[in-house]
């Protein structure tokens, strides 16, 4: 499966709601892939605290400033 190629509209997503706000729980997704996560707009989903700007910056750098989604179907 190929990785999403988008480098715009990037957001930092929590892999796990209860996983904290550290870099190990951060995943960079484009807005389209982020919307396709199971927790997006789920009324039963408890949103965690936002990531700090520092963690967002580190996550983007680690991801090479592109979406980390590997589903291959989100952005088609």
Q: How many Å from the N-terminal Cα to the C-terminal Cα in the chain?
A: 13
Q: Predicted confidence band at 31 (pLDDT cuts at 50, 70, 90)?
A: very high
26/55 Cα distance (integer angstroms)? 8
pLDDT (average), residues 42-65: 90
Could you tell me where the DSSP H helices lie in the chain?
31-35, 53-62
State residue 38's pLDDT score: 76
Q: Residue 72 domain-assigned? A: no
- For residue 63, what are its two tokens? 């991801």
State residue 42's pLDDT score: 65
Q: Structure pTM?
A: 0.84
Domain span holding position 53: 10-62
State residue 59's pLDDT score: 98
Q: Residue 4 domain-assigned? A: no
Specify the number of domains making up the chain.
Answer: 1
37/33 Cα distance (integer angstroms)? 7
Q: Predicted confidence band at 27 (pLDDT cuts at 50, 70, 90)?
A: very high
Q: Residue 24 domain-assigned? A: yes
Q: Residue 32 domain-assigned? A: yes
Q: Residue 58 domain-assigned? A: yes
Q: Residue 47 domain-assigned? A: yes
């Amino acid at each position: 499966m190929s990785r999403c190629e988008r480098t715009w509209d990037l957001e930092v997503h929590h892999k796990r709601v209860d996983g904290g706000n550290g870099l190990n729980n951060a995943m960079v997704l484009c807005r389209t892939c982020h919307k396709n996560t199971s927790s997006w707009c789920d009324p039963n989903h408890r949103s965690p605290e936002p990531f700090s700007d520092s963690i967002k910056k580190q996550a983007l750098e680690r991801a090479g400033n592109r979406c980390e989604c590997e589903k291959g179907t989100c952005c088609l």
